[in-house]
Structure 1
Amino acid sequence: MYITKKYVNNPFPKFKIPKNEKQRPMFIQYAMKKAMEIDVARGEIYYVIQPKNIKTGLLIKRKRRLNEHRACALRAMVLAMLYHFNLTSNLVYASVEQLSDECGLSTISKSGNKSISRASRLITEFMEPMGFVKSEKKWDNVLGNYMPKLMTLTPLFFSLINISNDRLIKAKKQQLTWINKNLLNKGLNPLTEKEVLLNTKNNRMKKIIEYRQSKRNFYIRKQKAKKIIANSETIAKQNILRILVKNFTLEELQTMGQHGLKKRVNIEYYSLKKIANSLYIN
């Protein structure tokens, strides 16, 4: 019996709007509506634009028609990028990992490791060479490696959903007017388009750094938790007890009592067990 090989985990990815998010600006709502009405994976633009190597500028040969798995991933990704698009800076206010999660493109292995390679390849091997997205790398001095990319949507991206550059510029001007109106109401000086762009970009960088540092701290805690939990429950609890005794004063230990201390050890043990087996959630 012939069995078709399954080479993607989720053949029909869909973008899911994050919970507890604020309503997006009118232009974003309009753009997302357009993206749902048009098949962004089957437009005429693919017969006009030839992808280029982003490093060398040389043309890349490819089939004119996207395979259906990548086409489905692209449809979801376009909506996700639009949802997180910042009109004043052209930046996508989300990491590749976040976009991958929200589009259902992330996978978890049996060992618990997350993979976002399907989303990452879609961006680096297709959307960037086609000129829909531009990426900028920044070095992280804390971790000693590159931070998540700063992704910018180009006018060509919006041509996928039949939004002209003139319409985009008009929306940007309206957004700048709204920002400055709020600043004037607060008694502050209005900003130029370049100033708003710089401020927005700096804020995005700050959030990325904060996220990276919190994620680093999580993995440090996880490694420590795994080291303690790797022992038998009895030995693990003895180690926790020694740590707790060092962290409390004699008066605090007396107030807590033997029963209270035992209860605290159990709480810490199961808390560490949970951390050791958990995944970092963006």
Structure 2
Amino acid sequence: MTDLLQNHYSQVKNPNPVFTPREGKKTLPFCRKLMAKAEGFTSRFDFSIHVAFLRSLGKRHRMPPLLRRRAIDALLQAMCFHYDPLANRVQRSITNMAIECGLATESRSGNLSITRATRALKFLAELGLITYQTEYDPQIGCNIPTDITFTPALFSALDVSEMAVVAARRSRVEWENLQRKKQQLKPLEMDELIAKAWRFVRERFRSYQAERKSHGRKRDTARRDASRQRHDIETRVRQQLTREYATGRFRGDKEALKREVERRVQERMLLSRGNNYTRLATAPYNIPSLKNPAGAGGFRTPVGRLLRIILSSGLHSSP
């Protein structure tokens, strides 16, 4: 019971965030070295010195709390994993990194919160270890991926020499030009490749955002379909396709219409019955244990909800 009380926090759902990359996702050897250097960074003397410098300027009054330091350690692992030495940029959105680190939470209405991740990143920016800039794009109606870059101060704190960073950047230039040569394209200079990498992020995000918007609509529909029977879903699909057919948005013969009805009904049944319409689906869900009930996934699993009822009712007792 003592272990349970020590590991349970009422402030956050996951007091021990750990970065877990997607299955099969690989990174550069240089990034692996950065991850090894950044492990346990907030417990080192270098981190304390940076905080003390902010305190001397009057920008901070104390060391960040333990839960904030744990979030920083997990996010540093994620940023080093997704770091691109060529563009000096983290090629991953904050939302995805927060999910991979177990720092994101989802409300019953489906709203995603990444406050723990954003606060940790803002603190690293205050220390001067990273640059953190957000930008709103009126064309798509949301923020584009945040520009996160590493500063020389971070490499110095991680004991990574400037020569190693330059060597990793040159290695990426050679690899990019080798890929262009295979495609029978002319090689580019380093500046051109860097500009191309930054443009790719914004251009790819616009198409990605359209895909996510479509997926979000399906996820919202699946949440409403969870309590409906198959014949109710089929009736709604038929009504939807009838409207699309009348307005000319769907074209095809009668057989194509029947196949589309079957496909949509099957898709909506799988989404609604599989309980996989959560935005945290890419994060690893660990079955909660009595020693760590608020681990990644934690109380959001069916077993976790049952465990939460037992803990709140006081029915559990230590052996």
Same fold (TM over 0.5): yes
**2:127 corresponding residue in structure 1:** 130
- State the alpha-carbon separation in 1 of the partners of residues 170 and 264 from structure 2: 59
**2:61 corresponding residue in structure 1:** 62
Contact 1:85 1:91 in 2 (8 A): yes
Letter in 1 for 2:170: K
Deviation at 1:111, TM superposition (A): 4.1
**1:55 corresponding residue in structure 2:** none
Contact 1:225 1:275 in 2 (8 A): no
Give SS of 2:148's match.
strand
Identical residues among aligned pairs (%)? 23
Structural mapping, 1:153-168, within 5 Å: 153-168=150-165
CA RMSD of aligned residues (A): 3.6
Contact 2:135 2:143 in 1 (8 A): yes
Deviation at 1:236, TM superposition (A): 5.0
Deviation at 1:89, TM superposition (A): 0.3
**1:95 corresponding residue in structure 2:** 93
- State the alpha-carbon separation in 2 of the partners of residues 264 and 173 from structure 1: 49
Deviation at 1:78, TM superposition (A): 0.9
Residues 193-221 of structure 1 deviation map (CA, whole Å, 9 limit, x = unaligned): 21111011111222222222211222334
Structure 2: gaps of 5 or more residues: 283-319
Letter in 1 for 2:13: N
Deviation at 1:43, TM superposition (A): 2.9
Deviation at 1:182, TM superposition (A): 4.5
**1:144 corresponding residue in structure 2:** 141
Contact 1:43 1:160 in 2 (8 A): no
- State the alpha-carbon separation in 1 of the partners of residues 85 and 183 from structure 2: 22
- State the alpha-carbon separation in 2 of the partners of residues 30 and 101 from structure 1: 23
Letter in 2 for 1:190: P
Structural mapping, 1:261-280, within 5 Å: 267=266, 270-271=269-270, 273=272, 278-280=277-279
1:42 aligns with 2:43: yes
Distance 1:33 1:46, change over 3 A: closer
Letter in 1 for 2:44: G
Contact 2:237 2:265 in 1 (8 A): no
> Which one of the candidate residues 14, 22, 27 is aligned to 1:10?
14
Give SS of 2:132's match.
strand
Letter in 2 for 1:27: F
**1:194 corresponding residue in structure 2:** 191
Give SS of 1:41's match.
helix
Distance 1:237 1:189, change over 3 A: closer
Higher mean alpha-carbon deviation, 220-229 vs 172-181, is at 220-229
Deviation at 1:149, TM superposition (A): 0.9
Contact 2:90 2:147 in 1 (8 A): yes
**2:112 corresponding residue in structure 1:** 114
1:86 aligns with 2:90: no
Contact 1:13 1:103 in 2 (8 A): yes
1:33 aligns with 2:9: no
Distance 1:151 1:232, change over 3 A: same
Deviation at 1:128, TM superposition (A): 1.1
Give SS of 1:62's match.
coil
Distance 1:228 1:17, change over 3 A: closer
- State the alpha-carbon separation in 2 of the partners of residues 162 and 261 from structure 1: 58
- State the alpha-carbon separation in 1 of the partners of residues 17 and 227 from structure 2: 37
Higher mean alpha-carbon deviation, 147-156 vs 105-114, is at 105-114
Deviation at 1:276, TM superposition (A): 9.5
Higher mean alpha-carbon deviation, 71-80 vs 111-120, is at 111-120
Deviation at 1:130, TM superposition (A): 1.0
**2:70 corresponding residue in structure 1:** 72
Deviation at 1:145, TM superposition (A): 3.1
- State the alpha-carbon separation in 2 of the partners of residues 189 and 249 from structure 1: 45
Structure 1: gaps of 5 or more residues: 53-57
- State the alpha-carbon separation in 1 of the partners of residues 270 and 262 from structure 2: 12
Number of residue equivalences: 266
Residues 49-99 of structure 1 deviation map (CA, whole Å, 9 limit, x = unaligned): 3349xxxxx861231x33221121111111110000001001111111111
Residues 80-134 of structure 1 deviation map (CA, whole Å, 9 limit, x = unaligned): 100000010011111111111111111233444332111111112x011111221
Give SS of 1:278's match.
coil
